[in-house]
C-alpha cells in the first residue's frame, strides 16, 4: 500500500500499566505531527463502536507501522493479545511489500510475545526516554528524515480530531467546560434530550483528560439495593456493619459523602432513567444534600437523561438549588445538520432529492436513527459503491417504517443454526453474561469462540475488563429472547436454576464467611430462574430466604419485589393448607413490615389487618400482640393518635389483667408514653415512661434502655433530663452509634436552650448536625431548627436565623415539624417587620393545621392562636391580638411555658392600648422565655421523642 493510503502512520499497542510512558510518546508524536493511533485520543471515535472489529482493522490495515510496548502485563491482557494477533496476521500477509518490517517492538522487559521472534530488532524502553522513542518513530515513518533543530518543544499540539457529529454539539461541550471551570462549589448539570442526539459523545469529550471521574451506570438487573452505586464507588460490603444504628442505605450514603469530602470529584450518572427507582432516588436525594449542605466538597454531578417530548421527567431535578444547577437540552437536529452529516458520511453520493428527503425525515432529527437507516440501506444494497462513488437507488415506499427491527433480524438471519442457538441461550441468561454460563450449564463447547463469531456481526458487545458480554441494545436482547418458544424458555431456565443451585451447594460446603450481599447474589439467580421455569415449589423456598436476607440489610425495595413474586406463586403451588397458611402469613407480615419501614404507614396498616385474618385474635399470643402493636404504631405515625391509643390501651389492659410484664408490655407502655406527648396526658406519660425505663434497666435490655433514656426531657424537667441524656450520649459514643448519638446531642442542646445555658448549645448542636449530615439524613432539620432559635435568642440575629430555618425546610418532613419551623420563621418576620411575608407564613401554617384538625392535637390550637396574636401585636391590631389570646386562656390544655407567653403578651397588648392592667404571668418558668417575650417573639422546638 502507498503511504497516503494509510489512516495512521503508526499504531501504538500497550498494557495499561505502561500508559504513563506511552502517553508521553503520544504527546511527543502529536507535537512532531506524526499521525498515530492512541486510544485516549480516539475516545469519541471509539464511542459506541464494535471495538473488536474496529481495532482489528486498525492493527491489520489502517497503520503504516505497529509499535507494541512489550512487558509481562502485555502478554496477559485480552485486548493486547487481539491487537498483536492482528498485527502478526498483517506481518505475514505475503502480498504486502512491508513484510517483516511492519512490527517495531519496544521492550520494558524480556517477556516473549508468541509470534514476535527475538531476532526482530527492538528498542529498550528501560534505557531511553519516551520523547526519544517518539523521535525514532518520526525518523522511521519519514524515511530517515531528521527532526529539525528549530522544531521547538513548546509547539501547541493540535487537539484530537472530531467528526461532524461532535462538531454539531461542540457548543454544548463548551457550556459544560465553562460551568466546570468557573464553579467553586458543588454543582449539578442535567443533560437531557432524546436518545441518539449525541449526549453521551458530548459528555465523553467533556470528560476527556479530566481526573477523578466516577461513573454510575445502570445494571441490567440489580440483585440488591444500590448495586450500581456500590459498584461505581468500589465499596466492599464486608466493611459495612449490620449492627449499625444506620440502615444499609444510610451507611452507603455516608460512604458516598465521605468519598466526596476527600477531594473534588466528577460523578457522571449515565442513563439516569434506566437506573432502578431506589438508586435513582438515592442519587437525586444525595445530590440535593450536596447542593444544600456540602457545597464546599466541590462535587460535580452530571446526570444524563434520555427523554421523549412532553414528559415531566425533569420535575425531580427542579427542587435542586437553581444557583448550583444547570440544564443542558439536546434538541433534535435540523434538516440542514442532518444533511451535512449525511454527506459527511457518504461523500458525493448520487441520490435523488426525493430519496434524500425521505431518509432525513425518517431519522426524526436523530443521528442514531440516521446511522441505522444508512447502514440498513447499505445492507439491503440500496446504497452501493461503484467506481469509488456511492449511489442510492430508488427506495420503495415505506421501506424505513420498521427499520430497527428489520436491521436486527437481518443480522440475526445471517447466523447458522448453532450460532442462533448460542445467541438464544445467551438471551435466556440475561442481558449481561459470560461464556462460562453457556459452556457449563448448557454444555456448549467453545462458547467463547462462538460468541466471538456472533460479536463479529455486532450482535454482542464484549467487556474485556470482566470478560462478560452484553447485547448491543435492549431492543436486540428483547427481540432475540422473544424468538424462543415459551416451553424452550422454561426448560432452559430450569437448567440454569439447577446450575446455580449446585454452585451454592459447593460454596456452602467450603464454609466460607460471606456477606449478606454475597449470599443474596448467590440466591437471586436460583430463585429467579426457578420462577421463570414455573417451578414455583422450588422457587418459593429460595424467595423466602431472599426476603429474610433483604430484611437484614433494610433493602425494602427488593424485599417487596420478592414478596410480590412469592404472593403470586403461592396461588399455584401444591402445598397442604396448614403449610400454605403459614407461608402466606409470613409473606404478608414481611410486606407490611416493608411498608412500615418505608414510611407508608397507611398501606402497612391495611396489610397488618390482612395478617390478623390468619391468626386467632381471641388468644393474644406474642404474634397477635406484635401485629396489633405495629398497627398502633402505624396509626400514631399517620397522625391518628386517638385510634392508636385505643388499641394500645386494649393491649395494656390484657397484660395487666393477666399480670404479664414482658418485653411486649413494655413496648406498649413506651409507645403510649410517646402518644401522651400529643394528648397532653402528663401523669400517664410519666408513669409509662418510668415503668418502661425501670424494666429495661432491670432486665439488661441495654440498647432499649439508652434509646429510651435519650428522650428523658419528654417526662422530666430539663435540669434532670440533661444528665440522663448525657449518660445515653456516653453509651452511644462507646457503641460508635451515629443516628442515636445525633438525636441525643440534639435533645441535650435543646435542654440547654430551655435552662438558659445558651453558651453550651453550639458544641452539641453542631456535632448533631455534622452527624446527621454524615449520612445525609433529612432529620437534620431538627438540629437546624434549634440552631436557628439560638441565633434568635442569643444574638438577636433574625436574618441569619431565617436563613437557617429556610435551609431546614428544604428537607422532607411530617406536618408537625413543618408547622414548628414555620412558626419560628413567622416570629423572625414579625420582629423584622416584613408583615406581608409573615401573613403568607400564617396562612401556610393554618393550612397544615387544618389537614390535621381531625386528630385534635392540643398544641396545634396553641400554635394557631399564639401565632395570630403575635402577628396582630406587631401590626398594632391589639383588639384582634387580645381575642386570640383569650381563646388561648380557654383551651383545655396548655403547657406552663405557653401559659406564661400568652399572659405576658396580654399584659403588653393592653398596656399598648392604654388600658389599666397588671401582669398576672408571674415568674417565667424558664429565664429564656422572659428574654424572648421582651423582644416580641416566642419559639417552638422539636425533639426526638418517638419510642423505637
pLDDT in tens, 168-183: 678 888 899 989 988 8
For 200, 215, 387, the CA distances from 232, given in Å and listed in that order, are 18, 6, 50
**What pLDDT score does 912 carry?**
93
Q: Give 394-426 pLDDT, tens digit per residue.
A: 888 878 877 767 767 777 777 888 888 899 999
CA distance 228 to 280: 10
Residue for grid cell 502478554: 75
Taking residues 17-31, what's their average pLDDT?
A: 86
Q: Report the run of H or E that residue 842 belongs to, with start and end.
A: helix 835-851
Checking if the pLDDT of 521 tops 90, the result is: no
119 — alpha (psi -120 to 50), left (phi > 0) or beta? alpha
**Of 136, 206, 132, 143, which is closest to residue 169 (Cα–Cα)?**
206
Using 50, 70 and 90 to split pLDDT, how confident is the model at 508? confident
CA distance 608 to 815: 25
Q: Give 112-121 pLDDT, tens digit per residue.
A: 888 787 667 7
Q: Around Cβ 310, how many Cβ atoms within 10 Å? A: 5
Compute CA 280 distance to the chain's CA centroid, rounded to the nearest angstrom.
5
Portion of the chain with pLDDT greater than 70, in percent: 92
**What pLDDT score does 855 carry?**
54
Contact (CB, 8 A) for 791 and 804: yes
Checking if the pLDDT of 95 tops 50, the result is: no
Using 50, 70 and 90 to split pLDDT, how confident is the model at 156? very low
Taking residues 475-492, what's their average pLDDT?
A: 88
Those residues whose C-beta lies under 8 Å from the C-beta of residue 334, and which sit 6 or more positions away, are 365
Most confident of 161-175, 570-584, 730-744: 730-744
CA distance 627 to 611: 8
**Of 26, 93, 29, 105, which is closest to residue 60 (Cα–Cα)?**
93
Three-class SS of 428-469: HHCCEECCHHHHCCCCCCCHHHHHHHHHHCCCEEEECCCCEE
Residue for grid cell 454444555: 443
Is the domain covering 817-948 a CATH 3.40.1000 domain?
A: no
Question: What is the chain's length?
Answer: 948
CA distance 496 to 425: 10
**What pLDDT score does 102 carry?**
83
Those residues whose C-beta lies under 8 Å from the C-beta of residue 584, and which sit 6 or more positions away, are 567, 570, 614
Residue for grid cell 400454605: 580
Strands 468-471 and 432-433: antiparallel
What is the architecture, at CATH level 2, of domain 701-813? Alpha Horseshoe (1.25)
Phi–psi pair at 269, nearest 5 degrees:
-100, 105
**What pLDDT score does 905 carry?**
94
Taking residues 767-792, what's their average pLDDT?
A: 92
Using 50, 70 and 90 to split pLDDT, how confident is the model at 821? very high
The cell for 626 is 406484635
Checking if the pLDDT of 155 tops 80, the result is: no
Contact (CB, 8 A) for 304 and 200: yes
Q: Give 921-946 pLDDT, tens digit per residue.
A: 888 888 888 889 989 999 999 988 76
The pLDDT mean for the chain works out to 85
Q: Give 551-568 pLDDT, tens digit per residue.
A: 887 788 889 999 999 999
Residue for grid cell 512490527: 103
Most confident of 3-7, 97-101, 419-423: 419-423
In a 10 Å sphere around its CB, with 0-12 CB exposed, 13-18 middle and 19+ buried, how is residue 551 labelled?
middle
Among the residue ranges 14-28, 87-101, 126-140, the one predicted with the least confidence is 87-101
CA distance 491 to 740: 51
Q: Report the run of H or E that residue 81 belongs to, with start and end.
A: helix 78-91
CA distance 395 to 648: 77
Among the residue ranges 68-82, 397-411, 417-431, 445-459, the one predicted with the least confidence is 397-411
CA distance 246 to 291: 23
**What pLDDT score does 238 carry?**
63
Task: Say how many Å lie between the first and final Cα of the chain, rounded.
Answer: 79
Q: Residues 310, 314, 315, CA angle at the centre, nearest 5°?
A: 105
Taking residues 702-726, what's their average pLDDT?
A: 89
Q: Around Cβ 660, how many Cβ atoms within 10 Å? A: 12
Checking if the pLDDT of 161 tops 80, the result is: no
Checking if the pLDDT of 221 tops 80, the result is: no
Q: What is the sign, positive or negative, of the torsion defined by CA atoms of 511, 497, 240, 592?
A: negative
Checking if the pLDDT of 97 tops 50, the result is: no
Long-range CB contacts (within 8 A, 24+) of 419-424: 419/450, 419/453, 419/454, 422/447, 422/450, 422/451, 422/454, 423/454, 423/459, 423/460, 423/480, 424/480, 424/481, 424/483, 424/484, 424/488
User: Is 701-813 in the same CATH topology as 615-700?
Assistant: yes
Those residues whose C-beta lies under 8 Å from the C-beta of residue 795, and which sit 6 or more positions away, are none
Taking residues 746-759, what's their average pLDDT?
A: 93
**What pLDDT score does 946 carry?**
66
**What pLDDT score does 159 carry?**
32
**What pLDDT score does 160 carry?**
33
Strands 36-37 and 63-70: unpaired
What is the architecture, at CATH level 2, of domain 164-330? 3-Layer(aba) Sandwich (3.40)
**What pLDDT score does 151 carry?**
44
For 231, 530, 585, 619, the CA distances from 579, given in Å and listed in that order, are 39, 20, 10, 21
What is the architecture, at CATH level 2, of domain 615-700? Alpha Horseshoe (1.25)
Domain-wise residue ranges, the chain: 3-141, 164-330, 335-401, 615-700, 701-813, 817-948
Phi–psi pair at 178, nearest 5 degrees:
-65, -45
**What pLDDT score does 404 carry?**
65
936 — alpha (psi -120 to 50), left (phi > 0) or beta? left
Q: Give 342-384 pLDDT, tens digit per residue.
A: 887 788 888 998 989 888 888 777 777 788 888 888 877 888 8
Q: What is the sign, positive or negative, of the torsion defined by CA atoms of 178, 181, 187, 193?
A: positive
Beta bridge partners of 573: none
511 — alpha (psi -120 to 50), left (phi > 0) or beta? left
Q: Give 718-742 pLDDT, tens digit per residue.
A: 888 999 999 999 999 998 899 999 9
Residue for grid cell 459452556: 439
Q: Widest CA span of the chain, in angstroms?
A: 118
**What pLDDT score does 368 carry?**
73
| Fold classification of 3-141 (topology level) | Rossmann fold (3.40.50)
pTM above 0.75, yes or no: no
Using 50, 70 and 90 to split pLDDT, how confident is the model at 4? low
**Of 223, 222, 219, which is closest to residue 542 (Cα–Cα)?**
223
Amino acid at each position: 500500500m502507498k503511504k497516503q493510503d494509510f489512516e495512521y502512520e503508526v499504531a501504538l499497542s500497550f498494557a495499561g500499566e505502561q500508559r504513563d510512558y506511552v502517553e508521553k510518546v503520544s504527546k511527543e508524536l502529536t507535537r512532531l505531527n506524526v499521525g498515530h493511533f492512541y486510544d485516549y485520543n480516539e475516545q469519541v471515535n471509539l464511542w459506541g463502536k464494535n471495538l473488536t472489529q474496529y481495532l482489528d482493522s486498525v492493527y491489520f490495515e489502517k497503520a503504516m507501522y505497529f509499535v507494541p510496548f512489550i512487558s509481562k502485563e502485555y502478554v496477559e491482557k485480552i485486548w493486547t493479545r487481539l491487537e498483536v494477533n492482528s498485527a502478526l496476521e498483517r506481518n505475514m500477509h505475503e502480498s504486502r511489500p512491508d513484510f517483516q518490517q511492519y512490527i517495531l517492538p519496544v521492550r520494558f522487559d524480556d517477556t516473549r510475545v508468541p509470534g514476535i521472534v527475538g531476532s526482530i530488532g527492538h528498542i529498550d524502553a528501560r534505557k531511553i526516554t519516551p520523547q526519544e522513542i517518539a523521535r525514532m518513530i518520526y525518523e522511521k515513518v519519514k524515511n530517515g528524515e531528521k527532526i529539525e533543530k528549530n522544531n521547538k518543544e513548546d509547539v501547541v499540539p493540535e487537539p484530537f480530531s472530531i467528526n461532524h457529529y461532535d462538531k454539531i454539539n461542540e457548543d454544548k461541550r463548551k457550556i459544560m467546560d465553562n460551568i466546570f471551570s468557573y464553579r467553586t462549589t458543588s454543582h449539578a448539570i442535567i443533560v437531557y434530550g432524546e436518545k441518539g442526539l449525541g449526549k453521551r459523545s458530548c459528555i465523553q469529550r467533556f470528560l476527556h483528560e479530566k481526573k477523578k471521574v466516577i461513573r454510575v451506570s445502570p445494571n441490567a438487573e440489580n440483585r440488591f439495593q444500590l448495586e450500581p452505586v456500590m459498584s461505581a464507588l468500589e465499596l466492599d460490603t464486608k466493611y459495612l456493619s449490620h449492627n449499625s444504628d444506620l440502615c444499609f442505605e444510610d451507611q452507603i450514603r455516608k460512604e458516598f459523602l465521605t468519598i466526596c469530602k476527600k477531594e473534588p470529584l466528577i460523578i457522571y450518572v449515565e442513563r439516569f432513567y434506566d437506573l432502578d427507582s431506589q438508586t435513582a432516588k438515592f442519587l437525586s436525594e444525595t445530590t440535593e444534600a450536596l447542593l444544600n449542605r456540602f457545597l464546599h466538597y466541590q462535587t460535580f454531578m452530571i446526570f444524563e437523561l434520555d427523554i421523549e417530548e412532553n414528559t415531566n421527567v425533569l420535575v425531580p431535578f427542579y427542587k435542586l438549588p437553581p444557583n448550583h444547577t444547570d440544564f443542558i437540552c439536546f434538541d433534535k437536529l435540523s434538516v440542514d445538520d442532518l444533511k451535512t452529516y449525511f454527506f459527511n458520511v457518504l461523500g458525493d453520493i448520487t441520490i435523488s432529492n426525493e430519496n434524500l428527503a425521505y431518509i432525513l425525515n425518517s431519522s426524526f432529527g436523530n443521528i442514531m436513527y440516521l446511522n441505522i437507516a444508512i447502514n440498513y440501506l447499505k445492507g439491503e444494497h440500496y446504497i452501493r459503491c461503484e467506481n469509488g462513488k456511492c449511489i442510492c437507488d430508488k427506495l420503495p415506499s415505506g421501506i424505513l417504517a420498521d427499520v430497527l427491527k428489520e436491521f436486527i433480524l437481518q443480522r440475526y438471519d445471517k447466523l447458522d443454526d448453532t450460532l442462533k442457538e448460542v445467541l438464544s441461550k445467551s438471551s435466556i441468561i440475561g442481558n449481561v453474561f459470560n461464556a462460562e454460563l453457556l459452556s457449563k450449564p448448557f454444555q456448549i463447547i467453545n462458547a467463547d469462540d462462538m460468541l466471538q463469531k456472533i460479536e463479529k456481526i455486532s450482535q454482542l458487545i464484549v467487556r474485556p475488563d470482566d470478560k462478560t458480554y452484553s447485547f448491543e441494545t435492549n431492543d436486540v436482547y428483547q427481540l432475540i429472547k422473544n424468538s424462543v418458544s415459551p416451553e424452550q424458555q422454561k426448560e432452559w431456565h430450569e437448567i440454569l436454576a439447577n446450575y446455580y443451585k449446585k454452585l451454592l451447594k459447593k460454596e456452602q460446603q467450603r464454609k466460607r464467611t460471606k456477606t449478606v450481599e454475597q449470599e443474596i447474589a448467590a440466591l437471586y439467580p436460583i430463585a429467579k430462574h426457578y420462577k421463570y421455569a414455573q417451578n414455583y415449589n422450588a422457587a418459593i423456598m429460595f424467595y423466602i430466604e431472599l426476603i429474610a436476607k433483604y430484611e437484614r440489610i433494610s433493602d425494602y425495595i427488593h424485599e417487596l419485589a420478592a414478596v410480590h413474586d412469592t404472593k403470586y406463586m403461592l396461588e399455584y403451588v401444591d402445598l397442604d393448607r396448614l403449610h400454605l397458611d403459614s407461608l402466606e402469613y409470613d409473606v404478608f407480615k414481611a410486606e407490611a413490615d416493608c411498608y412500615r419501614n418505608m414510611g407508608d404507614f397507611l398501606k402497612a396498616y391495611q396489610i397488618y389487618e390482612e395478617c390478623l385474618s390468619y391468626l386467632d385474635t381471641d388468644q393474644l399470643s406474642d404474634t397477635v400482640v406484635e401485629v396489633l402493636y405495629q398497627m398502633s404504631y402505624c396509626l400514631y405515625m399517620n397522625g391518628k393518635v386517638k385510634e392508636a391509643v385505643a388499641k394500645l390501651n386494649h393491649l395494656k389492659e390484657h397484660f395487666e389483667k393477666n399480670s404479664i410484664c414482658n418485653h411486649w408490655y413494655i413496648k406498649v407502655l413506651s409507645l403510649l408514653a410517646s402518644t401522651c406527648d400529643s394528648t397532653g396526658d402528663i401523669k400517664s406519660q410519666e408513669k409509662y415512661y418510668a415503668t418502661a425505663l425501670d424494666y429495661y434497666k432491670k432486665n439488661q435490655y441495654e440498647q432499649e434502655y439508652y434509646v429510651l433514656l435519650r428522650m428523658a426531657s419528654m417526662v422530666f424537667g430539663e435540669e434532670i433530663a440533661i444528665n440522663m441524656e448525657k449518660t445515653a450520649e456516653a453509651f452511644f459514643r462507646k457503641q460508635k452509634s451515629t443516628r442515636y448519638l445525633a438525636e441525643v446531642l440534639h435533645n441535650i442542646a435543646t435542654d440547654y436552650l430551655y435552662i438558659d445555658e445558651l453558651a453550651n448549645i453550639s458544641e452539641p448542636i453542631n456535632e448533631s448536625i455534622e452527624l446527621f449530615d454524615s449520612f445525609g439524613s433529612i432529620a437534620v432539620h431538627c438540629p437546624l431548627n434549634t440552631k436557628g432559635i439560638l441565633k434568635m435568642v442569643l444574638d438577636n440575629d433574625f436574618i441569619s436565623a431565617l436563613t437557617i430555618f429556610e435551609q431546614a425546610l428544604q428537607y422532607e418532613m411530617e406536618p408537625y415539624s413543618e408547622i414548628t419551623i414555620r412558626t419560628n420563621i413567622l416570629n423572625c418576620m414579625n420582629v423584622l417587620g416584613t408583615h406581608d411575608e409573615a401573613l403568607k407564613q400564617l396562612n401556610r401554617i393554618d393550612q397544615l393545621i387544618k389537614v390535621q384538625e381531625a386528630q385534635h392535637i392540643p398544641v396545634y390550637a396553641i400554635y394557631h392562636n399564639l401565632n395570630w396574636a403575635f402577628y396582630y401585636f406587631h401590626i398594632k391590631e391589639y383588639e384582634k391580638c387580645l381575642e386570640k389570646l383569650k381563646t388561648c386562656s380557654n383551651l383545655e390544655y396548655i403547657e406552663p411555658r405557653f401559659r406564661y407567653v400568652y399572659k405576658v403578651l396580654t399584659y403588653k397588648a393592653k398596656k399598648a392600648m392604654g388600658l389599666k392592667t397588671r401582669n398576672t404571668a408571674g415568674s417565667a418558668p424558664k429565664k429564656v422565655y422572659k428574654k424572648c417575650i421582651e423582644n416580641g417573639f416566642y419559639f417552638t422546638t422539636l425533639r426526638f421523642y418517638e419510642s423505637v
